[in-house]
Structure 1
């Protein structure tokens, strides 16, 4: 990663030498990942080789605490910005990869926050030494897609020694690539975390070994316009037994403690990566085509540069709040950053297309994929709900910082 070439280089120099070395290392991996992005997009396949490269480079355990052999990054380890900048670099190469990486890194944050010492010792070892990939799945939407006859959802029953799970989850990121999943399931019935009607205490986090033969993947459902490489297929559970030692934390802790708010600004880091990818393409293209004298092109380039800088500054601000222990402040600022960076990123890609013209949307231009991916991924967490939550907080009204409930 060429720090001097990036718009945020003026304050990147404040990062520790270790953080700068990690960003250089992830930049080298991201360059190879970018070469494979089109392949995964066209085939809607999980970026397995990308994760192998990350493990080989010693980067796959980014949010695992140092005492367990990880890099010790993220909001629980006092080094949040480095993690988010790593995510930005991977999303810049391939937004689908960035999403899969987010899911993995965020899952390890949950293990760090809620799992027992015995659970951490077991599962972190598999990540650090075995390169195992994790993800967290909640998606049980009750609305059907066009032409669909059934709804998704799971039902869970308590049995001796654990629980039995039946049903299906949609939008299951990394379905064909992950080794373990943290399942957000509800004793009140279908709906996972977002769509269930029961009390928070009904929400359980259960670790599931995805090599279990009772867990199958239906790859016929995932055919979206963008984020195809996330392989977010439907996963089906057929009387899947989940032992009690796989329960992570206490029932309802995910909602009561607002853990979603630790991940909200992480999404913004991925949005920023997509925007920076479009900006880099635009600069190179406009210079090569000698279009930089056009005052309208100059205005769009200026807008892109300001957007990129603004997004970096917001992420740095939220990261400082997390690292400083101001969790309420970090939650409020994280929601604002998530909302703002979505719009900055979408605007930046639009400026790129308008400055570079229609040929920027013709393959093999990466902008064509960036536009589709970012448009689709920005639907992850409804921005209307995010903004309404920000408004309720500003007005002093009761609000859920994770915007699960109105």
Structure 2
């Protein structure tokens, strides 16, 4: 098995242009709105994406057939990290959640007609989407098998009934990919189906936009009700009762793209801390010469480099067509916690400046904390990692 760390010239060039674009165009826009885009200011999104298209860095993850740059996950890891240097960088490149993950899912699973209707507009930035799976307790959350939303056969299609919440990007989305149970009961391992639901369907309603700690995801997080929501057979994404299997097509890579983007946030926080440590003096010395500050800076460098290594390994596994379930869980758990540590240390190094609005660290701090919950909390991933490790050990023992 050969794993290289060389970055292809084309990827490196896109990453360089992304870095320049984020610094010169995106960060000023982030500062102007304080990184708060939960209300979804559409003119801002359009303006940023037009600028990204002009800079040649738009849609790096989408196939060329759909107007993108066609990078694999290893290439995306480099470019998405550069985009993540600003909270609005992924939005500008049209590679922010949840649209980025939905584009990947549609590319892999959708029919030709569904791709023309939904993927083409999504990839071009002309449409927005959401992924409606999470439900209020006792419904689906960290345990997707608890899925309670149902889809029942009716003449000519299906009727969806259920309540979803914390649906990212639902406010202003053009369509939803809704997970609903078409067989079995909550707790069963199978029986889920994915449906494409247009936002103007009278049976789909946004109840409220949830006030959350983070404010940097375009459109925020919403509670959505499907009440006698009727769709045709052509709304089924993939095959009936295969929704949980298709979810893994989306969630594995989407966890890694989350890591890529947030790693860019960590790098920005560390750069701010390094600059502050070099310019600020205390007790007759620059902060950078004080041992405890040096430890904070060194530990953050270790966390960033280690995060990048485990992330690239998982991306390589996925690009090879392997399941990579263990490595994606390890990467998601480690990176989400490491990013939190890096930003926290940066705040500590910067002191009072770090918690003020004079520096962006307080804004970054509020954004990274939820990452330990998104795409599966750390505890759920640790449980899965341990189960797989024990199963592998038992299989080795049985083979002896």
TM bin (shorter chain): 0.7 to 0.9
Which secondary structure state, in structure 1, belongs to the residue aligned with residue 240 of structure 2? coil
Q: Which residue of 2 aligns with 1:125?
A: 120
User: Which residue of structure 2 lines up, in the alignment, with residue 23 of structure 1?
Assistant: 15
**What does residue 197 of structure 2 align with?**
208
**Secondary structure of the structure 1 residue equivalent to 2:237:** coil
**CA separation in 2, counterparts of 1:185 and 1:88?**
33
Cross-structure match for 2:295: 299
2:242 aligns with one of 244, 250, 253: 253
2:277 to 279, 286, 295: 286
> CA offsets, 1:256-290, max 9 Å, x none?
36322232222222332221121121112222324
Does 2:314 match 1:314? Answer: no
The answer to whether the 8 Å contact 2:197/2:235 transfers is: yes
Q: What's the CA shift string for 1:86-118, capped at 9, x where partnerless?
A: 333343311796798131111111112211233
- TM-score under structure 2 length normalisation: 0.81
Aligned: 1:341 with 2:335: yes
Per-residue CA distance 1:286-336 (angstroms, 9 max, x = gap): 2232422212211211111121111112222222222223x13x2221111
In the other structure, the counterpart of 1:3 is: none
Q: Report the CA distance between 1:17 and its aligned residue.
A: 2.8
Give distance in 2, aligned partners of 1:232 and 1:40: 18
After superposition, give the CA deviation of every residue in 1:4-46 in whole Å (9 maximum; x if it has no partner): xxxxxxx97x322322232234334433333344626557323
Change (3 A) 1:218 1:40: farther
More off after superposition, 270-279 vs 34-43: 34-43
Q: Are the structure 2 counterparts of residues 72 and 254 from structure 1 closer, same or farther at C-alpha, using a change threshold of 3 Å?
A: farther
Higher normalized contact order (CA 8 Å, seq sep 6+, divided by chain length): 1
Output the TM-score relative to the length of structure 1: 0.80
Equivalent in 87, 91, 94 of residue 84 of structure 2: 91
Query: What is the deviation of 1:143?
Result: 5.4
Q: Tell me, yes or no, if structure 1 residue 226 matches structure 2 residue 214.
A: yes
The Cα shift of 1:242 comes to 1.8
Task: Report the RMSD for the aligned CA atoms in angstroms.
Answer: 3.1
Q: 1:46 aligns with which of 4, 17, 40?
A: 40
8 Å CA contact 2:22–2:89 kept in 1: the answer is no
Cα offset for 1:343? 2.1
| Superposition deviation, residue 247 in structure 1 | 0.9
Over 3 Å counting, the alpha-carbon distance change for 1:128 and 1:387 in structure 2 is closer
Moved over 6 A (4+): none
Change beyond 3 A, Cα 1:215–1:35: farther
Please list every run of 5 or more consecutive structure 1 residues that lacks an aligned counterpart in the other structure: 1-10, 74-78, 145-151, 191-195, 399-406
